[in-house]
C-alpha cells in the first residue's frame, strides 16, 4: 500500500495504489489537487526526480509512473543539495547512483545525470521529452522544501511550456496517518492509536527508455568535490574544513600543544579498492553500510541474524562492524545503516518489514507480546519507528502554524533538528538552551531581541524537545560539534553565542575550539567549573554507557515525571508562575519520546573537566556572565568569585533570578543582551578600521 499526496492537502489511501496530482496548469495558475483519470495516464510521460529516494524497491512514485508511456528517471547534482553532505555521504551517494543506474539499465531504462540548478535542469528536460508529470518526493528539511518550491514556481511560470503539466508530490507512508494536523503531540498518545506499519512495495518495471537521449556520465569523487567547490569562496571553504576534524582531536591537540593530523581527503583510488573488495562498507573509513538496495538488504539480513553466526565472509564483516559500533545497546543499527536510510537507498518501512518477518521466522510465525527475541531485531525496528515518529513531528511543524515560533528543520548527520530564526538583518545571535529544555524556552527573548535590529536564531539540540533522539552516546563534544555545524551550514556567519546552564558549557567549547565562528559569548548560569592553573588532562579512549547509567536514567525519568512541577518552580524562585502549565506540558511531552532515556544517560557520563577559565582564554572583553543569584543548583556568589579571579576581562551582571534568568526575568535579560551586542559590534567595527 502506498501514498502520494500534497503537503497542503489531506491524504487518502486505497488498494493497491492511490495518488493525487494537481489539476493541469499553465504559467501562473496555482496548484490544486484533483484525482487524475487512469485513462489519461497511459498517454502521459513523466520526469521522476530522485533526491533522497535512491532505490527501485518500495518506491511509490515508480509504482505510480509505471503505467505512463515514458518515464525519465533523473538525478541532479545540485550544489545546494551536495554541500550538505560529508565526504563519506558523497561517496555513498556515488555508489548508490551507480547501482541505481545499473538496475534501471537491466530493465531497459536508465538514470539521467545532470549538473546545475535543479529547477533549470528539470524545466529543460520537461521541454525535451514533453513530460506531462513531474514526480517529486516530499521533504521535511527547510532548505529542501525551499528548493522544491523554487522548482514548482519555475515550472508553473515557464512561458515555454504549451501543454498541461502536473506536479505530483509523494511520500512513503510508514503509518496510515490520514491527517497530520490531528497527529498527537505525545508519542505516548500516538502509540495508543495502535497504527500498523504499512507494507512495502516491491520493484516495478518502467517503460523502455528512449535511447536517443544523452544520459550523462557519473562523476568521480574528485570531480564531484571540484564541482562543489567551484562556487565556494575561500572563507566558506575554510569553514567547511573545520567540520572534518572531530572536537576531541582538536581539543587534545590544543591541550598537548602539538600539531594534529588533518584527516586525509578521500580519493578515487580508495573508492576503487572498496569496489574490488566487494565490501558492503564502501567508504574510506569503512564504518557504514553502502552500495545499492540489494547490498543493503543483504547487510540487513546479516545484521538481523547476528545471534546465529555465519560462515559467510560478507556477513562476518557485518557482525564485526556491529560489535565495534555497539557503543551502547542498539546503537549499532543507526551507526551502520543511518546514512543509507538518509539517502533512501532502503526505506524505513522495508527495514521494519524485514525485521518483523525475521522475528516471526524465529518464533514460528508469531510475535511475542513481551518484546523482540533478538537484540538486533529490536535495534532495527525501534530505530526506524523512532525515525518515523520524528519525521511525522517535523512534517507536521512544516505544514501547520502551531507553536510559538515558525519552525524550520535542519538535518544533522541524518537526524532532524528543529530551529527558528527571527529578523532579516543585523548581528547574528544564537540562543542555546539547557538540559531538558528546547528553543521555545527562549519564548520571551527571541522576538524581543530581534526587534532591536538583530538576526536571532534558536535551536533545539539533538535529544531534546521535538528534535530527534537517536540511539547514540551523547557527550558535551557531540553537542558542541552540532552547534559548530549549525553556524557553518545554516547561519553562515560568525555569531554571538548565548547559552544557559549546560548550554553555556557547550557554547564555551565552541568558542574555544572554533574562535572564527564566534564574536562574543553570553553565559547564563552556565555549567562548568573554574580550575586555577589548569594545564592538561587525559582523555578516555572511548565514551560508553554502563548498565548503572541506564538504570539511573530510568529512575531519573520516573522521578522527573512525578515531580516536574515542583522541580521547575524551584528553578524560578522569584517568579514561580513562569513555571506554567505550557512549559511543564512541553517537558512532559518530550519525556515520552522514543530515545529519551538514552539522552538522560548522558547526565552520568558528562565530562566537564575542561574548565571555563581555559575555554574562555582569548575572549577578554568578549564574555558576559549573567548570573541568577538564587540558583538552587549552585553557590552563585562563590562561582562568580572564582570567575572574577581567574578569568580576565569578564563582564558580570547579577540578577534576582534562579537557574533560568532569561525566562524568569526576560525583559531585563533582553535589554542587557541587546546592549552587550551593540557594544561588542562597535568594538569589532572600530578594530576593523584600526
Digit-coded pLDDT (tens) for 487-516 = 999 999 999 999 999 999 999 999 999 999
pLDDT, residue 528, reads: 95
For residue 524, the surrounding DSSP H or E stretch is strand 518-524
Longest CA–CA separation in the chain, Å? 81
Task: Please tell me what DSSP assigns to residue 490.
Answer: I
Separation of CA 376 from chain center: 24
Dihedral of CA 591/595/599/602: which sign?
Answer: positive
Give CA–CA dist 662/575, Å, rounded: 12
The number of beta carbons lying within 10 Å of the beta carbon of residue 416 is 22
pLDDT, residue 8, reads: 30
DSSP-derived secondary structure for 48-84: EEESS---STT-HHHHHHTTSSEEEEEEEE-HHHHTT
pLDDT, residue 32, reads: 29
Task: Please tell me what DSSP assigns to residue 515.
Answer: G
Which are the contacts of 206, defined by CB distance < 8 A and separation ≥ 6?
A: 62, 65, 66, 71, 73, 104, 107, 108, 109
CA 211-217-221 angle, to 5 degrees, is 160
pLDDT, residue 162, reads: 77
**Residue 434's closest CA among 583, 302, 597?**
583
Give CA–CA dist 451/666, Å, rounded: 14
Task: Please tell me what DSSP assigns to residue 538.
Answer: P
Half-sphere exposure at residue 64, Cβ-oriented, CA atoms within 13 angstroms:
31
Give CA–CA dist 468/557, Å, rounded: 18
**Residue 462's closest CA among 315, 299, 596?**
596
Give CA–CA dist 114/108, Å, rounded: 20
Give buried/exposed letters for 138-152 (b at 16+ CB in 10 A, else e): bbbbbbbbebbeebb
Residues of the chain with pLDDT under 70: 1-42, 209-211, 232-235, 257-277, 535-544, 690
pLDDT, residue 523, reads: 98
Dihedral of CA 124/344/217/46: which sign?
Answer: negative
**Residue 304's closest CA among 206, 372, 202, 405?**
372
Q: Are 394 and 416 in contact (CB under 8 A)?
A: yes
Peptide bond into 247 cis (omega under 30): no
- Residue where the block lists cell 543585523: 426
Give CA–CA dist 494/442, Å, rounded: 21
- Residue where the block lists cell 521533504: 139
- Taking 3-state DSSP, the helix, strand and coil percentages for the chain, each rounded to the nearest 5, stand at 45, 15, 40
Give CA–CA dist 284/94, Å, rounded: 13
Q: pLDDT tens for residues 102-144?
A: 999 999 899 999 999 999 999 999 999 999 999 999 999 999 9
Cα 536 to Cα 175, 245, 380, 588, distances in angstroms = 52, 20, 40, 40
For residue 625, the surrounding DSSP H or E stretch is strand 623-628
Which are the contacts of 583, defined by CB distance < 8 A and separation ≥ 6?
A: 441, 568
- Name the pTM for this structure: 0.91
DSSP-assigned beta bridge partners for residue 499: 432, 523
Q: Are 351 and 394 in contact (CB under 8 A)?
A: no
283 phi/psi in degrees, rounded to 5: -80, 165
**Residue 151's closest CA among 167, 162, 165, 164?**
167
With 0-12 / 13-18 / 19 or more C-beta atoms within 10 angstroms meaning exposed / middle / buried, residue 237 is exposed
- Where do the domains of the chain lie, and which CATH numbers do they carry? 45-171 (3.40.50.620), 188-202+278-402 (no CATH), 406-540+607-689 (3.40.50.1820)
- Residue where the block lists cell 598537548: 256
Give CA–CA dist 609/593, Å, rounded: 30
Which are the contacts of 20, defined by CB distance < 8 A and separation ≥ 6?
A: 4, 5, 6, 9, 12, 33, 34, 35, 168
- How far separated are the first and last CA of the chain, in Å rounded? 67
Q: Are 373 and 362 in contact (CB under 8 A)?
A: yes
- Residue where the block lists cell 518495471: 205
48 phi/psi in degrees, rounded to 5: -110, 110
Give CA–CA dist 11/226, Å, rounded: 42
CA 471-472-476 angle, to 5 degrees, is 140
Give CA–CA dist 331/326, Å, rounded: 5
Q: Are 106 and 82 in contact (CB under 8 A)?
A: no
Amino acid at each position: 500500500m502506498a501514498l502520494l499526496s500534497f503537503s497542503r492537502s489531506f491524504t487518502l489511501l486505497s488498494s493497491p495504489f492511490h495518488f493525487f496530482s494537481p489539476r493541469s496548469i499553465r504559467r501562473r495558475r496555482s496548484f490544486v489537487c484533483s484525482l487524475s483519470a487512469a485513462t489519461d495516464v497511459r498517454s502521459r510521460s513523466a520526469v521522476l526526480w530522485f533526491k533522497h529516494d535512491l532505490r527501485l524497491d518500495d518506491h511509490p512514485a515508480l509504482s505510480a509512473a509505471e503505467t505512463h508511456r515514458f518515464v525519465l528517471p533523473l538525478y541532479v547534482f545540485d550544489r545546494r543539495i551536495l554541500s550538505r553532505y560529508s565526504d563519506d555521504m558523497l561517496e555513498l551517494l556515488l555508489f548508490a547512483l551507480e547501482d541505481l543506474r545499473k538496475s534501471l539499465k537491466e530493465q531497459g531504462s536508465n538514470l539521467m545525470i545532470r549538473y546545475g540548478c535543479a529547477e533549470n535542469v528539470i524545466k529543460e528536460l520537461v521541454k525535451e521529452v514533453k513530460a506531462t508529470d513531474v514526480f517529486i518526493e516530499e521533504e521535511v528539511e527547510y532548505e529542501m522544501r525551499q528548493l522544491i518550491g523554487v522548482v514548482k514556481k519555475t515550472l508553473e511560470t515557464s512561458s515555454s511550456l504549451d501543454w498541461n503539466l502536473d506536479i505530483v508530490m509523494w511520500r512513503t507512508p510508514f503509518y496510515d496517518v490520514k491527517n497530520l494536523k490531528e497527529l498527537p503531540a505525545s508519542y505516548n498518545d500516538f502509540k495508543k492509536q495502535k497504527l500498523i506499519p504499512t507494507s512495502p512495495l516491491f520493484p516495478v518495471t518502467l517503460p523502455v527508455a528512449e535511447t536517443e537521449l544523452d544520459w550523462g556520465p557519473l562523476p568521480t569523487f574528485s570531480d564531484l568535490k571540484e564541482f562543489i567547490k567551484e562556487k565556494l569562496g575561500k572563507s566558506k571553504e575554510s569553514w567547511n574544513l573545520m567540520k572534518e576534524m572531530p572536537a576531541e582531536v582538536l581539543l587534545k591537540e590544543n591541550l598537548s600543544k602539538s600539531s594534529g593530523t588533518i584527516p586525509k581527503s578521500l580519493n578515487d583510488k580508495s573508492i576503487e579498492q572498496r569496489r574490488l573488495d566487494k565490501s558492503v562498507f564502501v567508504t574510506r573509513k569503512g564504518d557504514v553500510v553502502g552500495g545499492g538496495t540489494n547490498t543493503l538488504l543483504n547487510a540487513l539480513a546479516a545484521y538481523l541474524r547476528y545471534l546465529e553466526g555465519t560462515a559467510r565472509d560478507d556477513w562476518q564483516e557485518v557482525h564485526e562492524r556491529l560489535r565495534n559500533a555497539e557503543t551502547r545497546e542498539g546503537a549499532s543499527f543507526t551507526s551502520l545503516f543511518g546514512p543509507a536510510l538518509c539517502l533512501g537507498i532502503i526505506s524505513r518501512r522495508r527495514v521494519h518489514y524485514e525485521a518483523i518477518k525475521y522475528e516471526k521466522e524465529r518464533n514460528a510465525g508469531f510475535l511475542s507480546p513481551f518484546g523482540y527475541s533478538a537484540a538486533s531485531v529490536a535495534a532495527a525496528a525501534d530505530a526506524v519507528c523512532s525515525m518515523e515518529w520524528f519525521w511525522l513531528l517535523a512534517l507536521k511543524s512544516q505544514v501547520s502554524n502551531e507553536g510559538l515560533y515558525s519552525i524550520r528543520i535542519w538535518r544533522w548527520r541524518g537526524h532532524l533538528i528543529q530551529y527558528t530564526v527571527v529578523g532579516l538583518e543585523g548581528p547574528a545571535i544564537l540562543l542555546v538552551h539547557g538540559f531538558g529544555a528546547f528553543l521555545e524556552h527562549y519564548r520571551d527573548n527571541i522576538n524581543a531581541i530581534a526587534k532591536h535590529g538583530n538576526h536571532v536564531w534558536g535551536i533545539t539540540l539533538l535529544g531534546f524537545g521535538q528534535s530527534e533522539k537517536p540511539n547514540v552516546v551523547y557527550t558535551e563534544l557531540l553537542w558542541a560539534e552540532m552547534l559548530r555545524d549549525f553556524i557553518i551550514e545554516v547561519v553562515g556567519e560568525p555569531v554571538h553565542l548565548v547559552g544557559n546552564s549546560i548550554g553555556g558549557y557547550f557554547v564555551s567549547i565552541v568558542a574555544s575550539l572554533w574562535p572564527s565562528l564566534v564574536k562574543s559569548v553570553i553565559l547564563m548560569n552556565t555549567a562548568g567549573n573554574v580550575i586555577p592553573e589548569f594545564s592538561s588532562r587525559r582523555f578516555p579512549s572511548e565514551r560508553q554507557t554502563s548498565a548503572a547509567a541506564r538504570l539511573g536514567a530510568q529512575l531519573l525519568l520516573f522521578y522527573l515525571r512525578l515531580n516536574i512541577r515542583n522541580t521547575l518552580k524551584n528553578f524560578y524562585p522569584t517568579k514561580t508562575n513562569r513555571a506554567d502549565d505550557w512549559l511543564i506540558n512541553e517537558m512532559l511531552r518530550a519525556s515520552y519520546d522514543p530515545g529519551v532515556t538514552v539522552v538522560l544517560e548522558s547526565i552520568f557520563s558528562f565530562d566537564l573537566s575542561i574548565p571555563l577559565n581555559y575555554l574562555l582564554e582569548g575572549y577578554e572583553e568578549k564574555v558576559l556572565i549573567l548570573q541568577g543569584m538564587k540558583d538552587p543548583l549552585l553557590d552563585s556568589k562563590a562561582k562568580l568569585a572564582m570567575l572574577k579571579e581567574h578569568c580576565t576581562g569578564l563582564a558580570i551582571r547579577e540578577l534576582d533570578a534562579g537557574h533560568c534568568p532569561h525566562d524568569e526575568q526576560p525583559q531585563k535579560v533582553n535589554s542587557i543582551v541587546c546592549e552587550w551586542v551593540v557594544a561588542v559590534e562597535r568594538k569589532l567595527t572600530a578594530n576593523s578600521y584600526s
